[in-house]
Structure 1
Amino acid sequence: MASGPTLIASVQRALHLLDAVASGERPATAKELARAVGLPLPTTYHLLRTLVHEGYLRKLEDGYTLGERLTALTQRGSMLTVLSRVRPIMRAVRDELRGACYLSLYSHGEIKLVDIVDSPEAPRVDLWVGVHEAAHATAFGKCILSGLDAEARRDYLSRHRLTDLTPYTITDVRVLEQRLAPGRDVFDDREEYLLGTACVASPIRAPGLIGAIAVSIPARRYASVAADPTPLHRAARRIARAFAIGS
């Protein structure tokens, strides 16, 4: 006869407490939580103290609420759910354009590279300089900068120096601003980040979202990909819908 799985009772009790806090419409006291989960009050206090210390709960004057760490986990879980829908779209772009595919988003004042889909036949670019230091030299960085309002873009550029990465990198703010003309639906990087590599990107537009999808290719293939960015535009629309559904 097969035995059941080995369960850790203290972990179960802590999870039951989290469930009880999350299900309430107001902060719950230790006594209320002890009654709700059927635990002795001293045990409840020990578990609550641990959960508060680890950031999963917050202790207020009138009881306990969910903590910032649990809220952050929920947000990351929501992002992972969206990415599970977005990755097939990125794989299709990679296979159609024969280049590594990149998804980037603007979040809390920074441009973040969220995901990369590559393959042995379509390897990713060696990101030798962090994205936050090189938005001006990447197609997806320009894409997102173009989508910011004037104040947000000035703030970003004031905090990030236009570093000279290759002989083709734009290091003059006035020239960069000209390249960020509003209304464009395709942006590029022609050996501005890395010699021998080009990148083409399309903006992702959705309520409350500023992002970009891009593909990197050998510089010699730039003209053929840039001539018909339809696959990128199509993918950008599909990704925007995926984020709208997941929000």
Structure 2
Amino acid sequence: MEILRREGFKRCVEDSCKPKLLRVWLNNLLLISCCCISNHWIPIAVPVDDDDKIVGGYTCSVPYQVSLNSGYHFCGGSLLNNQWVVSAAHCYKSNIQVRLGEYNIDVLEGDEQFINSVKVIRHPKYNSWVLDNDIMLIKLATPAALNSRVATISLPSACVAAGTQCLISGWGNTLSSGSEYESNYPELLQCVDAPVLTEAECSDAYPGQITTNMICVGFLEGGKDSCQGDSGGPVVCNGELQGIVSWGIGCALQGYPGVYTKVCNYVDWIEETIAAN
């Protein structure tokens, strides 16, 4: 069974252009590469229509969601303040253009802000083999202008309880297989509402693979999930960033919920890193 990181692909116009997909096989620990909130108000996701997207979600607008770009969208992220973004460490690139205020990532709509990174800082204990401590911070070269389309999201005040409903968003694959050969990448931002699962449910789904720095969010029956291209994006519960899209087996498959970085474990590291840089 293949375990997939949820980073994205370059959009290709021609059928001959094959995407790049990194897959982590945790059963034998072999990594292979296959080629081809503001302080004053809580931003919310605004549903736009009822299309069946993300996998099993809907089109939405989320002001704290950002797109990480290196000539193409490859991961998501969340705006913490006007100069810092948090994402997944497996999305690391030394130079990243952060795109804020995005809704349709294929069209310039006039409200976007494109700001280059000046620092990209992975967690010092990030483990790429098992995706533990899968978190990184990005400092923007210039501060973002906050407005109705670009807003910040709050860090957790406490860890989230199982059963809490959360919002997951991104521009990732909307097909449930998660295969590089079966993909549909939307232009419009997608959202899905999903509950936090118990530690036992998470560990039972992925025996021996869940660390204390991970949470599962989703549905054991499948059908709704994040997918490739959503990596690094937000899981927001009660107005706080509780998760970062990290990995999973396939996408929206029965018995295999999405696995997310447990942000409440990193509040001190985030605050100390921002203060030091």
Which has the larger Rg?
1
Q: Which has the higher strand share?
A: 2
Q: State TM-score, norm by structure 1.
A: 0.26
Q: Which has the higher helix share?
A: 1
Q: State TM-score, norm by structure 2.
A: 0.24
Higher relative contact order at CA 8 Å, sep ≥6: structure 1 or structure 2?
2
